[in-house]
Structure 1
């Protein structure tokens, strides 16, 4: 028989279970890749493809001619050959491929069982595919490899790190990849469908699992740890659970924002980078739980002015209080209070008018916005404080008093005492001590628990002093009834008793010495009588 080998193709295929995969635990679910591989060839005899069963013998060598044979011969009896083509499984053992070059020598006998074998030349060099067996099982050969294969899974069974394209370890890593580039370099995890969820997972021991993944349907990157607690959208927004949202460019064209939500999902607080289309400063808004209305707003550039403001709103969103640092650029701060309809009713201005020569002012408005009360600390150009209003009602006192100092009198001045002008000390008073004294000035206020209602004086001048002397109104007065019993309506004047009044009994002497009219009774002795002060 004379045969010639026209073409031999060598490849590594998926081996048959009986020949190439060996169970490691007796089951069909945990299999180890064997050392066999599939060899395909075409046998031609005298120019005609063989179409009959033939015997084939294979041997492995370390050289293309001569050399040393590796392992034993493999004889395939009655191999099926159709149109010259055949396919056989070969297994020279795991130690046959240790990294050195290898060649296969083939002998054929056709038909099967007839005559001797014919050696086909040249020997066929083994290319890279069978060496995948060596890579899978490590460099030492034998039965103790670094990897196991089960169905489509490959598992590292050694105790060393897995490194790709580098030989150094970073920190405590067990898997490392080096990308030889100064730009992007990394790894993709892909899925077949656009709505897939490629993920990277983590698990410590027997603890709970967590992972990061892309939601292909929403184009969100998520972190899942007992639920999706972090979401990053393609447009830049970030959600932390259901209570925190970060937006790099707010939907209302207001710059970046951070939203804090309550457990029920309603908005609780919002920090915004800018307002008015990015032309003004940032804001911090706090929302109520009733209807998610911003009831507290801290504004970095309120109303387009340079200064910030604190704005308090009612549950319907209407402004109730404004505290502004600089309502008009370069001017002053203000405090304003409003009715629910927006009408301003109170304004506290630390620098009225916004000019350097103006002091503070408080302005009160009625429900129609009309100014009704003004307290001005620097009225006009005279640096005078002033209260401007239509009606003043005083509920803490009953007389009109001025402040005086006392310069004479044998007895200490006290509330209820009658006092007269001291001619020897301009601007001062002294206790009265004579009857029908036309220098009488009034009564020291405060006796009987009735206080001054309006107290006047000018600090730093002679029109100032320690004692409040009632010049008009109702006040309790010390009276001596030994000069006559006092009835309501009686006129009172000074008496010889120091600091005491008495009933007028000589009208010819009373002119210019009358203190006022009695309003209560004193039948005898000395005591307090309520007097309607009316100097005459």
Structure 2
């Protein structure tokens, strides 16, 4: 390892004339260094190549400084001397940003010390900095030493790790990047370019409780906390995976008026897509999910269910069936199944029961679900016994023992419990008509046919 020598002459020290030769070692956060480095220091430099750096203990707020002190004749000195180190942002003049004065032991002209200027990251923000040095009562040596890039920063090459703990430091950060100028290009803060397949530009993870893998905050108008853009086919601007119990892939909070937590925009396709056991879930004190469009405010593929806020029970369900149904409780469930014809139970107000007499004017509807056909619209919570079709098309139990049924025939209740039959006595059928047959049923047969429910 070669090292450059910087020799600076200073005024008289005590009763004899002395001068100091300041030799800055590369690892001392300075631009130059001396001819002869201590063997252990050289070993430390070599040992730091490609290693792991402890952010909170190895390189905190101290600068290592090594130099050589001689008398006017060039003879190395030994002893303890008071040295003052000052940090400036100007090469000459100006006011010191920070000062450190302490005793330094010199042995055969060589000394090695650490400068503690009480500084964190605030001064090292890209500006030029100089170090001024004073020995005992002498004037400050000139010229000041310019602080140059340090070797440990040069080691932040691919594969390097910055590791440590900043929990005990107020406002501490593992890595801090700041740009005070007006941005001209994307990537003015931190830019990461990755060109390999199956690679991640930024991979952030936390294992502690209540941690954030990526935390973004903005305060300026028209700003985005996170802005993601992709151009490749089958790509995602933001791709999030959450595997923990009760975890959110993306969690967003807003506090300003007219500030949606999540907003999706697409020029040619869908603004927002949700996929999963619950694709999109909305919760609010006034409106959970709000849709507005010149076309469809909301469009769904599959069933739609609306549940009670207090109980969680379904109060409205839109399915693929063809009927309108409501939930009812029954007084006797032994002979009831999909397709059964139900009547109002006069002995139990509010309940239904199986119809078992012809031309019963208490007829209420047909139990849904026969032939696997669900309801199109269903009202009532899940706590009711059965869904009963009051209108629309539904499969119904029909008894054609006495008369064959043809499409268009009026249907009423029969003596067979839970079955309908063809109306043959129209005077008795007034108020007891269940609906119209949409399929035929041969005489003498019993079965299920499609019925248009039109209670009259």
Q: TM-score, normalised by structure 2?
A: 0.48
Instruction: Work out which structure has the larger RCO, using CA pairs closer than 8 Å and 6 or more positions apart in sequence.
Output: 2
More strand by percentage: 1
